[in-house]
Structure 1
Amino acid sequence: MEIESGDIASGVTLRLLQSADAAALSAAYVDNREHLRPWEPRRPESFFTEAGQRERIEGLLRLFSDGGVVPFVLQAADGRIVGTITLTGVVRGPFCSSSLGYWVAADRQQRGLATAAVERVCRIARDTAGLHRIEASTLLGNTGSQRVLAKCGFEPIGTAPKYLHIDGEWRDCRLFQRILHDHDPSL
């Protein structure tokens, strides 16, 4: 899949994850460890190392090659990674859907960056990947992400009890979807 990178907001570029991103991604996770803790699963210490990120990136890029994942990074003009956004569980055929996950660095909050990134990835999912829909979930109290999804045309579709194991506990989540098009998936 050929995906062009480009500026999305405030001098930040959305681009595909690369093998060379291990050190920068490790630094981003270390810098944002406490910021992300309430919203993510517990991570082993190795996750925060360059070697741990290199291994993770290699796995994501293999899945990308197989068509099951589309991993992006948000890169600031100074080269720092200030977030990620990923389409996971890409399914073709009559479902033609994927799940969306993202985060933005603590020092880049409230600048429209998440909204711009989600909107761009939705266009890529529709125009390049040919997906029909994208689903997303948020913890019930994550009103910031819920606002981002609403701004980007996602609609709430329900609540899932004990849906994700986040920060050491099974958590209830609000589920959202965005329909991207109604074309026949065989075309």
Structure 2
Amino acid sequence: MASQVYAGPYGTEPRHPGWPAKLGPLVVPAGTVRLRPVHLRDGREWSRIRVRDREYLERWEPTAAGSWSDRNGFGAWPPQWFSLRALARRGQCLPFAITVDGVFAGQITLGNVIRASLRSAWVGYWVSSELAGGGVATAAVALVTDHAFKAAGLHRLEATVRPENTPSLRVLGKAGYRQEGLFLRYLDVAGDWRDHIAFAVTAEEMGNGFAERLIAAGRARLPEPR
């Protein structure tokens, strides 16, 4: 069966360029960070972390129907995984699991992928509270950004963060994103319409790569040769 292709102003390319893929590694204080496609078998650890980290995560995530335990229990993962896989196969999403030393530690997603003359996506991520401050999220953002501009063929990435979310603001700044403005009452989070700071980066700003910038700044390194 022939693979699907997209024919647009930039020529003919695969329907979902850059997917699936495995990215990394980068070594940070918390351990060795890699990205890979999300798996159905991630459900148990995904649920364990998210149920445990409710207080840490819920205040930053969009308001949704149902209780936190219902939305993040083990049974909630299979439909989410099927949905993410379907979007990835249509080229609308690149959903990655973040692993640290080979263990599931969070997620990072390129979502709302639009091609044609826009070629953009948003970046969203979360990481286990046990790894907070260990450089994991910054490494994951750098890896997925490099991948977006290279293999995935995108031109612009955006991320929005509540002004109160200081750790995430630092992640995007260290990863090389720049602040573009403030979106007033942008998203319903924790039961109210919240302002968000808009960050973005384009392919022209890539230079030698965002992972390489982290290495040059001493925030990450490559593994030692075996």
Normalised to the residue count of structure 2, the TM-score between the two structures is 0.75
Matched, 1:62 2:111: no
Deviations 1:39-86, CA, capped at 9 Å, x for gaps: 11245332112221111111011000000011111123363x221111
Amino acid at match of 2:37: L
CA distance, structure 1, for counterparts of residue 102 and residue 202 of structure 2: 35
Residue pair 2:112, 2:122 contacting (<8 A) in 1 also: yes
Ranges in structure 2 where 5+ consecutive residues have no aligned partner: 1-18, 206-226
Aligned residue for 2:75?
A: 51
Aligned residue for 1:164?
A: 187
Aligned residue for 1:15?
A: 36
Residue pair 1:83, 1:104 contacting (<8 A) in 2 also: yes
Matched, 1:75 2:96: no
Residue pair 2:148, 2:154 contacting (<8 A) in 1 also: yes
Pick the aligned partner of 2:108 from 85, 88, 106: 85
Normalised to the residue count of structure 1, the TM-score between the two structures is 0.90
Pick the aligned partner of 1:40 from 47, 55, 61: 61
Residue pair 1:126, 1:181 contacting (<8 A) in 2 also: no
Alignment coverage as a number of residue pairs: 181
After superposition, the CA RMSD in angstroms is 1.6
CA distance, structure 2, for counterparts of residue 88 and residue 57 of structure 1: 14
How far does residue 11 in structure 1 lie from its aligned partner after superposition? 2.6
Amino acid at match of 2:187: L
How far does residue 6 in structure 1 lie from its aligned partner after superposition? 3.4
Residue pair 1:122, 1:180 contacting (<8 A) in 2 also: no
Residues 1:73 and 1:39: Cα distance change in structure 2 (over 3 Å): same
Ranges in structure 1 where 5+ consecutive residues have no aligned partner: 183-187
Amino acid at match of 1:15: R
Aligned residue for 1:24?
A: 45
